[in-house]
Amino acid sequence: MVKVDINQVSFSYPGADVLHDVTFQIGPGEITGIVGPNGSGKSTLIKCIDTILKPKGSILLDGTNVLKMDSVERARNIGLVPQYGTSAMDSTVFETVLMGRRPHSAWRIRDEDIDKVAETLECLGIKDMAMRTFASLSGGQKQITMLARAICQEPEFLLLDEPTSALDIKNQLEVLDILRTLVKERSMAAIIAIHDLNLGARYADSIVMLREGMVFSTGKADELYTPEIIEEVYGVKAVVLEVLGKPHVVPVSPIKKEPSDQAE
Amino acid sequence: MNRTTDTHCSSDVYNKNNISIQEKFRQYHSRKILFLTGVSAVIVLLVGVAAAFGSYDLNLSEVYRIIGGGIIVRIFPELTLPESVAGTIIWELRLPRICMAVVSGASLGVAGAIMQGVLRNPLAEPFTLGISSAAAMGASLSIIGGIRFFGSYSVVINAFICAFLATIVIYTIAKSKGMTPETIILSGIAIMFLLDAVTAFMQYLGTAQQVQAVVFWMMGSISVAGWDTVLIVFLIATVSIPYLIYKASDITIIGAGDETAHSLGINVEKIRMQTLAFGALLTAAVTAFCGIIGFVGLLSPHITRMIIGGDNRYVIPGSAMVGAALLLGADTVARTVLAPMILPVGIMTAFVGVPFFMYLFMRKGKEPW
């Protein structure tokens, strides 16, 4: 049961501000979707929260600042699912998931680590592929293995950076169904950077919409997904329908910039 | 996708149902240990064969008896053995060369495993990082350039110093761009081409005799002066290899990506820098004494991973053993196949190693052995 406070997080590359005063909160058992156009800072925000990049501001886990934690303490609390599934050369699925035990164990593989991996593989329904090499998996299987590795880490807070962007629609739904169930069952907090607005509406409890590195708006998807906001943030004319009780954005056409706008 | 979507989990169910997964994993680990044991036995056999063959042929049982007796006498100096021609040949002529081949092969195998692991590149090895080229330039400076500050050891020490300086230059360039695998490999390749050009330029200026000496050195040879030389390489391997095995788990995780490794609590840049430095040290020591020995650093880790998978806790000792067996086998063939002519071992490592590698490569399936 963890509460996460992202407070005034800012990050700059030399000569370019990427994030500016990003602030929002996440409660236990909640998934927050980060949406926004390309270059709005979604992936950078995920990297800042996991301290891959060193931002200004603070990221509090139940009041403890992640930016001041040592690396092992941070790894015990925060799990990351990267955009593309990768593992070490010639590693099996079991060995890949076992990497998630690194913050909890030393050099030797303990019986409890083996049990934890087996439990996670069973939980995510991939125990039959345990001894297959990671390289032989499909994109969806790889992404579920990445999720298994992060879950095996036993974090209270999960970060997912566009985990479904390379998957077909069936695999997208399967990965996100598993994520939602795990987050609810284990009362974890999760942030998912996601391009697909409609998947975000379907799976996230709340949405943070970024534009040019700043929070444009936060709230429920049905509050944020309006034709006006979509047009302003994405520069696209859109129709918003209701599908399965959730808002569903249908992009219609990009808004052509006037010559005077382009000159700016 | 072959999986269920039910994620409601209960630990009681796991303990009952997951025995097969856990057992499978333990069996898989047992096979790795079996592989290491098997390669150790092959090395022991090869040591005997290598010591038996030569201009003065001996039988295997006699060889093991002499080696065993010699070890006991060295452990318990109060015991003595009667002097024999066979004992002198084995202990003073053949064993230093055999031990040098074993230690050098192990060092190159480990260096290759480390470089491929932390750089996530299956082609990474001492050659592609420019370390071997730097050693060749150092040797050329001594043989052709006349830089001989260290007397008869000038070739060796020049090669070692240049290999280590090249490592520092590569590190400095890569550090300024973030120490990513790409920057390290590109820096290494750039340095390799530059130093190869310097060596080629010196060869162009050298006499036919000097060029012949450099080319022969670059082909690699295990001919060593005696136990002193073996001891130096052995000491460097004794310090480096245990440290790298200790860091093996982190090296495996870095192989899964820098961001993943960071999220699992690893200081990626520090581990990459430290392990590459030890890899460079191992390479520099071997290359300084034996010249450039190709393929062992590249092939040994691949052969090992194809058989026992990618866990570096086993890949590093496995690469050491495969490298030792490969180099000892190649050297034995090199000095006996056209005896009394001794072929350069660098040629023979490719002749011996590549067919075996290709066999494994062709049969590689979806699951490790």
Task: Tally the residues of chain B.
Answer: 369
Q: Rounded distance, CA B283 to CA B297, Å?
A: 9
Q: Rounded distance, CA B267 to CA A52, Å?
A: 10
**Contact flag A96-B256 (C-beta cutoff 8 Å):** yes
**Selected residues 177-216 of chain A with any CB under 8 Å from a CB in chain B:** 177-178, 181-182, 185
Is residue B265 within 8 A of residue A75, CB to CB? The reply is yes
For chain A, the domains span: 4-224, 225-264
DSSP class of residue A128? G
Q: Rounded distance, CA B247 to CA B241, Å?
A: 10
For chain B, the domains span: 20-363
Instruction: Choose among B5, B22, B122: nearest Cβ to A114.
Output: B22
Average pLDDT over residues A238-259: 85
Lowest mean pLDDT among A115-129, B176-190, B254-268, B353-367: B353-367
Q: Rounded distance, CA B184 to CA B129, Å?
A: 8
Is residue A45 within 8 A of residue A34, CB to CB? The reply is yes
Q: pLDDT, tens digit, for every residue of B49-81?
A: 999 987 777 888 888 988 888 888 888 877 776
Determine whether domain B20-363 maps to CATH 3.40.50.800. no
Query: What pLDDT band is residue B155 in, cutting at 50, 70 and 90?
Result: confident
Q: Which of B92, B79, B103, B57 is nearest to B239 (CA)?
A: B103
Average pLDDT over residues B32-58: 91
Q: Which of A157, A9, A126 is nearest to B5 (CA)?
A: A126
3-state secondary structure of A251: strand
Q: Rounded distance, CA B285 to CA B49, Å?
A: 26
Q: What residue in B sits closest to A93 (Cα-Cα)?
A: B367
Q: What is the pTM of this model?
A: 0.86
Q: How many CB atoms lie within 10 A of CB A56?
A: 14
ipTM of the prediction: 0.89
Amino acid at A97: V
**Measured CA distances, A164 to A152, A158, A169, B38, B120 (Å):** 20, 15, 9, 44, 24
Report for B10-19, B56-65, B92-101, B345-354: range of highest mean pLDDT: B92-101
Distance from CA of A91 to the nearest CA of B (A): 5
3-state helix, strand, coil in chain B (%, to 5): 75, 0, 25
Q: pLDDT, tens digit, for every residue of B174-186?
A: 878 777 888 888 8
Determine whether domain A4-224 maps to CATH 3.40.50.300. yes
H or E segment to which residue B319 belongs: helix B312-336
**Is the predicted pLDDT of residue B260 greater than 50, yes or no?**
yes
Does B11 reach chain A within 8 Å, measured CB to CB?
Answer: yes
Q: What is the pLDDT of residue A261?
A: 52
**Contact flag B259-A52 (C-beta cutoff 8 Å):** yes
Q: What is the pLDDT of residue B224?
A: 67
Q: Rounded distance, CA B258 to CA B254, Å?
A: 6
**Is the predicted pLDDT of residue A264 greater than 60, yes or no?**
no
Average pLDDT over residues B216-237: 83
Q: How many CB atoms lie within 10 A of CB A69?
A: 18
Q: Rounded distance, CA B289 to CA B278, Å?
A: 17
Name, in order, each residue with C-beta under 8 angstroms of B45's C-beta and a sequence gap of 6 or more.
none
Distance from CA of B258 to the nearest CA of A (A): 9
Instruction: Choose among B3, B21, B309: nearest Cβ to A91.
Output: B309
**Is the predicted pLDDT of residue B13 greater than 80, yes or no?**
no
Burial class of B99 by CB neighbour count within 10 A (0 to 12, 13 to 18, 19+): buried
**Is the predicted pLDDT of residue B83 greater than 80, yes or no?**
no
Q: What is the pLDDT of residue A105?
A: 85
Selected residue with higher pLDDT from A52 and A261: A52
3-state secondary structure of B339: coil
- Taking phi over 0 as left and psi of -120 to 50 as alpha, with beta for the rest, A61 belongs to beta
Does B306 reach chain A within 8 Å, measured CB to CB?
Answer: yes
